[in-house]
Amino acid sequence: MSGQDGETLDGIRRRIDALDDEIMRLISERADCAQEVARIKRAADARAEFYRPEREAQVLRRIQAANPGPLNSEEMARLFREIMSACLALEQQLSIAFLGPEGTFTQAAALKHFGHSVNTVPMNAIDEVFREVESGSAHYGVVPVENSTEGVVTHTLDRFMQSPLSICGEVELRIHHHLLSTADALSRVERIYSHQQSLAQCREWLDARLPQAERLSVSSNADAARRASREPGAAAIASEAAAELYGLNVLAANIEDSPDNTTRFLVIGPRSSGPSGNDKTSLLVSARNRPGSLHGLLSPFADNDVSLTRIESRPSHCVNWEYVFFMDIEGHAQDAHVAKALAELKQEAELVKVLGSYPKAVL
């Protein structure tokens, strides 16, 4: 057998072997560099942070911009994410608390962000993820914050009102829902378990294809998959990972109503990230109780050319009928124009808490 210019299959495979040797040598050299970086960080500060989200974002953005193909940029970044994950594990073995159980989209988001060389630790609730990181039992946590079709996860926003933790990253994940069951046909499905957000995201498909089946909301899609694996006649709406983990058949794939159904997750940790050159800042702001106060909260951004990309109001839980605003703005709190806007905002607002500055999601 020979290729276009007469090279035999054996010949190409010999070339691949030689390239693999070279790739391995280069990865090992890179890992040596990471160990050297760790020594420098340790010498500078005994309690040094080894994980540097801003540097990781810069590495991945540079790789995506320089990628010559034929692999697409997302795929190339995914490979480098794993190399970096393995290098970081040589510096420090990270444990990452996530909203479990095993097989949730939040776990997929944690692995997408940190790569597979970390320990992911499932928690039963968003509150427990926060507590695990607050107590120092886990280095970082990953929690869902908003979905493109169903809106914000209010539990996560509310938890920031009391938490000393900062946001140090964000992850965006395209969400594909599958109908999973031990049954082998749709006609045998009597009950469907899923998280209420997933049931909502597949409402039209369910109305059209399984109108007679009972819909039951449970704490997570992975919990739904676990139930479906035990109960005849039951199905779950969950991910492909959950299908594998619980040994279920995919009765129907990609049943979400919106084809670009995306969920955004936040990475929480003891401090926010340094500037990466393309960042976001999340704020918790409460207005003074006087006329025009909302206008006063927004004008510092307009006056300093800072884009406000999201504003969400939530009851403050301190005083009845008082509200706090969660805001996302473009830029890092250390960028001069953002720092100026924040200083002006502090003059206007009752309270301004910077929840964190962090690199915009890369992949």
Ligand X SMILES: O=C(O)C(=O)C[C@]1(C(=O)O)C=C[C@@H](O)C=C1
Which are the catalytic amino acids? 263, 265
Q: Binding to ligand X (CB under 6 A): which residues in 277-316?
A: none
At its nearest, how many Å lie between ligand X and the CB of residue 85?
Answer: 8
At its nearest, how many Å lie between ligand X and the CB of residue 53?
Answer: 7
Token pair 């109780």 in the structure block, residue: 289
Rounded to whole angstroms, how far apart are CA atoms 65 and 61?
6
Nearest residue to the partner ligand X, using Cβ: 87
In the chain, which ranges are continuous DSSP H helix?
9-44, 53-66, 73-91, 105-114, 126-134, 154-160, 196-201, 203-209, 221-230, 240-246, 293-303, 336-348
- Please enumerate in sequence order all residues whose Cβ is within 8 A of that of 25, keeping only pairs 6 or more positions apart, or say none: none
At its nearest, how many Å lie between ligand X and the CB of residue 174?
Answer: 25
Q: Which of 57, 63, 77, 87 binds ligand X (CB under 6 A)?
A: 87
At its nearest, how many Å lie between ligand X and the CB of residue 88?
Answer: 4
**What DSSP character marks residue 188?**
G
Binding track over 326-345 against ligand X, x by CB under 6 A: --------------------
Q: Binding to ligand X (CB under 6 A): which residues in 32-51?
A: 34, 37, 50-51
Q: Which of 61, 89, 91, 120 binds ligand X (CB under 6 A)?
A: 91
Torsions phi, psi for 268 (to 5 deg): -115, 145
90 near ligand X (CB under 6 A) = no
Q: Binding to ligand X (CB under 6 A): which residues in 45-84?
A: 50-52, 55-56, 59, 84
Residue with smaller CB distance to ligand X, 41 or 314? 41
Rounded to whole angstroms, how far apart are CA atoms 236 and 222?
9
The site that binds ligand X (CB under 6 A) totals a number of residues, namely 12
Answer left, alpha or beta for residue 329, where phi above 0 means left and psi between -120 and 50 means alpha.
beta
Torsions phi, psi for 119 (to 5 deg): -90, 120
Residue with smaller CB distance to ligand X, 88 or 175? 88
What are the CA-CA distances from residue 102 to residues 123, 221, 222 (Å)? 9, 10, 7
Residue with smaller CB distance to ligand X, 36 or 74? 36
Rounded to whole angstroms, how far apart are CA atoms 20 and 3?
20
Residue with smaller CB distance to ligand X, 142 or 342? 142
At its nearest, how many Å lie between ligand X and the CB of residue 171?
Answer: 15
**Amino acid of residue 347:** Q
At its nearest, how many Å lie between ligand X and the CB of residue 362?
Answer: 13
Tokens at 276, concatenated: 């990466």
Rounded to whole angstroms, how far apart are CA atoms 224 and 180?
9
Rounded to whole angstroms, how far apart are CA atoms 44 and 309?
37
Tokens at 340, concatenated: 């100026």
Residue with smaller CB distance to ligand X, 91 or 328? 91
Asked if 219 and 144 touch (Cβ cutoff 8 Å), the reply is no
Residue with smaller CB distance to ligand X, 168 or 342? 168
At its nearest, how many Å lie between ligand X and the CB of residue 92?
Answer: 9
Give the residue from 15, 268, 19, 3 showing the smallest Cα distance to 123: 268
- Give the residues lining the site for ligand X (CB under 6 A): 34, 37, 50-52, 55-56, 59, 84, 87-88, 91
